[in-house]
Amino acid sequence: MVSEHVITSAAQVLVASNRGPVSYALSEDGSISARRGGGGLVSGLSAVEDKLWVCAALGDGDRVAVRRGIAEPGVRMLDIDADVHADAYNGIANSVLWFVHHMLYQTPLEPVFDAEFRRQWASFEAYNLAFAQALAEEAGEGAAVLVQDYHLALVPGMLRDLRPDLRIGHFSHTPWAPVDYFRLLPDDIAEQLLRGMLGADRVGFLTRRWADAFTACCTEVLGGTGRTRTGVHGLGADADFLRRRAHEADVDERMAILREQVGGTGRKTIVRVDRTELSKNIVRGLLAYRELLNTRPQWRERVVHVAFAYPSRQDLAVYREYTAEVQRLADDINEAYGTPDWTPVLLHVNDDFARSLGAYRLADVALVNPIRDGMNLVAKEVPVVSDQGCALVLSREAGAYEELGADAIVVNPYDVSATAVALHEALTMPDGERAERSKRLAAAATALPPQRWFLEQLEALRRD
Ligand code: F6P
C-alpha cells in the first residue's frame, strides 16, 4: 500500500538527518550564502545516483533559504516551526536522549520528567512526523531510506506506517545506554523510542557494544527486537582525503603559527580537538595535565597542551557553563605554571579545520578521553595525519577503543591521576615504538573508509 502521500520525486536512496550537508548564512544585506559540510555520509552518498538528503532547517539563514526556494540539488530542507524544532532538538534530543546515551545526568537532581517534558515530547513527535511525511513523499517505490541518529528515533516506525514498501535503516552515531540507565526514561517513552527504531528493517551501530546494549534494552522493555536486524559498521577515517588536505598551504601556515606559539626547542605537544561537548571530558583532561605538571615537574617548560574546543550547542545553558569552565581552568593553569617563555595550555575556541589538521600533524601525544563516545573520529584521524607518529591516550569508553585499544594507552576517563600517568607514559614513549604503534593505529583507523561504510549499510539493507 502506498499511502495518500503524493510521491513527488522518485529517489531510490534517501538519507534523513537533523543536520544536513549544507547550511545557509544570511548576511546583513539580505543575501544568502551556502556552506557545504563534509563527513562520512556526504562522501558515502556521493557514490550513489537517484538520491535525496532530507534535513531540518536549523538557523535563520536556512529558513530564509527554504522560503526563497534556494536549494542544493539532492537536498530537501524541512522548514519545521522554529519552536517545535527547538523543543525537539534542544529539549528532547540534546537534553534527554543525548544525556541518556552518554550517561551525563547528575541523578540526585535530574532528569525530571514532568508536564514540561511531555509538552516537549509532543514537539519531538511532530518533528519526527514531519521527516516521515517528507520521506514518504519523496521515496520511489521500494527505495532505501537511511535514517540517522537519536533525533529521528521515531521516524522508522512512522515511515513504515506510511510506506510499507520501503527498505528502512536507522543508524546511531552515539553510544547506546545500558538497560538500567535507559530505564530512567518514563516507561511509555522508552517503549515508544524502541518501537520507533524497530520500525526499521535494520538498525546500525558503530560498535558491537552499542548494538548489544540496544538489543538488551529491547529484550528487557519489549521482549525482543522482532524482525529488525542489527548491524555493526565502525566508521573509519578517510585517509586519502585527510593526507591530501593536511598538506595544503593553509595547513602549513597554521602549523608554522602553532609551532611558534608552542615555542622552545624540542618542546612536546599533547593535542586534543573536540567540540565543547560535555561528554568529551575536556575539564578532566585539563585536570590531568595540571596533575602531570604538579607530580612530574620535569615536564614544566618541556610540554604544551594544545587544546582546541570548538563551540557546540550553545543554546543550552549547561554547554555554555561547561565552555566557561574549560576556559577558566586553562587560564588557571597558565597563571599558576606559565613563565615568560612558556604558555602551558594553548586553548583555541574558534573552529578552524586547517588549524586542527596542523595540530594533528605536530602532535606528539593525542588525548582522547571522553566519558562516553559513539566512536570518536579524532582518535582515528590523528595517527593518520601526524608527521612523526603520535602516542594515543584513549578512553576505554570511546567506541574507537574497540579497534584502537591494542596500540593506545588506555584510560578510565574519570581517573584523573591515572590519566596524568598515561600522559607521562605517552610523552616518554621511545620514538621507534611510537612510530610503530602509530602506524598500526592508522591502519586500524582506516579499515572502513566512509564510502565503504555507507555502501555496506546500503547493501545490507537491500539484501537482508
Ligand atoms: O554524532 C552525533 C551527533 O549528534 C551528530 O548527529 C551531529 O551532527 C554531531 O553529533 C554534532 O552535533 P550537532 O549537530 O548537535 O551540532
* CATH classification at residue 38: 3.40.50.2000
- The verdict on 265 and 222 lying in the same domain is no
Q: How far apart are CA 54 and CA 51, in angstroms?
A: 10
For residues 99-131, b (16+ Cβ closer than 10 Å) or e, as one string? bbbbbbeeeeeebeeeeebeebbebbbebbbbb
What proportion of the chain, given as a percentage, has pLDDT over 90? 95
d(CA 59, CA 228): 35
Same domain, yes or no: 175 and 274: no
Residues 251 and 285 in one domain: yes
**Phi, psi for 270 (deg, rounded to 5):** -110, 115
For residue 149, the ligand 1 atom closest to its alpha carbon is 6
| Statement: residue 32 has pLDDT above 70 | yes
Strands (E), 312-463: 345-348, 365-368, 391-395, 409-411
In the chain, the amino acid numbered 392 is L
Look at the block and give the residue holding cell 543575501: 31
Ligand 1, atom 8, residue with closest C-alpha: 19
Measured by CA distance, the residue closest to atom 1 of ligand 1 is 173
CA 108/CA 99 separation, integer angstroms: 15
Mean pLDDT of the chain: 96
- With the most atoms of ligand 1 within 8 angstroms of its CB, the residue from 15, 19, 98, 147 to mutate is 19
The residue-averaged pLDDT of 203-226 equals: 98
Please tell me whether residues 186 and 44 are part of one structural domain.
yes
Predicted pLDDT of residue 6: 62
Residue numbers of the domain that contains 149 = 2-235+453-463
Whole-number pLDDT of residue 103: 98
- Angle value at C-alpha 439, between 433 and 444, nearest 5 degrees: 125
Regarding whether 424 and 372 lie in a shared domain, the answer is yes
CA distance 153 to 124: 10
Residue 38, pLDDT above cutoff 90: no
Question: How far does residue 264's CA lie from ligand 1's centre (Å)?
Answer: 37
Residue closest via CA to ligand 1's atom 2 equals 173
- 260 three-class SS: helix
* 104 closest CA partner among 96, 92, 112, 113: 96
Instruction: State the closest ligand 1 atom to the C-alpha of 151, by its place in the atom list counted from 1.
Output: 6
Please state whether beta strands 22-26 and 32-36 pair in parallel, antiparallel, or not at all (unpaired). antiparallel
Q: Which residues of 206-242 are buried (b: 16+ CB within 10 A; e: fewer)?
A: bbebbbebbbbbbeebeeebeebebbebbbbbbbeeb
Residues 222 and 281 grouped into a single domain = no
Q: Has residue 211 got a pLDDT over 50?
A: yes
Q: How far is the CA of 340 from the centre of ligand 1 (A)?
A: 39
Domain identity same for 262 and 357? yes
Residues 208 and 243 reside in one and the same domain: no
Confidence of residue 1 (pLDDT cuts 50, 70, 90): very low
What predicted TM-score, i.e. pTM, was given to this entire model? 0.96
Q: What is the pLDDT of residue 10?
A: 83
Percent of the chain surpassing pLDDT 70 = 98
Cβ neighbours around 36 below 10 Å, total: 11
Distance 232 CA to ligand 1 centre (A): 19
Ligand 1: centre distance to CA 281 (Å): 16
Q: Cα-flanking dihedrals φ and ψ of residue 345, to 5°? A: -120, 125
For cell 557553563, what's the residue? 321
CA of 96 to the centre of ligand 1 (A): 14
| Ligand 1 atom at minimal distance to the Cα of residue 39 | 8
Ligand 1 center from residue 373 Cα (angstroms):
12
Nearest residue (CA) to ligand 1, atom 11: 312
**For atom 15 of ligand 1, which residue has the closest CA?**
313
Give the mean model confidence (pLDDT) for residues 300-320. Answer: 97
**Is the same domain home to 254 and 344?**
yes
Domain count of the fold of the chain: 2
Which pairs count as long-range contacts for 351-356, CB under 8 Å and 24+ apart, including other chains?
351/310, 351/311, 352/254, 352/308, 354/248, 354/250, 354/251, 354/253, 354/254, 355/254, 355/257, 355/258, 355/308, 356/273, 356/308
For residue range 97-124, list pLDDT tens digits in order. Answer: 999 999 999 999 999 999 999 999 999 9
Instruction: With cut-offs at 50, 70 and 90, classify the pLDDT of residue 2.
Output: very low
Q: How far is the CA of 270 from the centre of ligand 1 (A)?
A: 25
- Which pLDDT band holds residue 309 (cuts at 50, 70, 90)? very high
Distances (CA, A) of 413 to 268, 296, 371: 22, 20, 6
Predicted confidence at residue 44, as pLDDT, reads 85
Question: What band does 7 get if pLDDT is binned at 50, 70 and 90?
Answer: low
* Closest-lying ligand 1 atom to the alpha carbon of residue 17: 6
**In this structure, how many other beta carbons lie within 10 angstroms of the beta carbon of residue 147?**
29
Residue from 155, 173, 275 whose mutation best tests the ligand 1 pocket (most atoms within 8 A of CB): 173
403 pLDDT tier (thresholds 50, 70, 90) = very high
Say what the pLDDT of residue 5 is.
60
Protein residues with CB under 6 Å of any ligand 1 atom: 19, 149, 173-174, 312-313, 374
Distance 425 CA to ligand 1 centre (A): 32
Q: How far is the CA of 50 from the centre of ligand 1 (A)?
A: 26
Atom of ligand 1 lying closest to residue 94 CA: 15
Closest ligand 1 atom to Cα of 89? 15
- Span 400-414, average pLDDT: 98
Asked if 39 and 159 sit in the same domain, the reply is yes
Q: And the C-alpha cell for 195?
A: 518501537
pLDDT for 46: 87
Mean pLDDT, residues 145-170: 98
* Same domain flag for 245 and 295: yes
Q: What pLDDT does 43 receive?
A: 86
47 versus 315: the higher-pLDDT residue is: 315
pLDDT tens-digit map of 351-384:
999 999 999 999 999 999 999 999 999 999 999 9
Taking the mean position of all CA atoms in its chain, how far away is CA 459? 24
**340 and 287 share a domain?**
yes
Q: Do residues 401 and 372 make contact, with C-beta atoms less than 8 angstroms apart?
A: no
Q: How far is the CA of 308 from the centre of ligand 1 (A)?
A: 17
Nearest in space to 204 (alpha carbons), one of 235, 246, 244: 235
Does residue 317 surpass a pLDDT of 60?
yes
Q: Which of 17, 149, 276 to mutate to test the pocket of ligand 1 (most atoms within 8 A of CB)?
A: 149
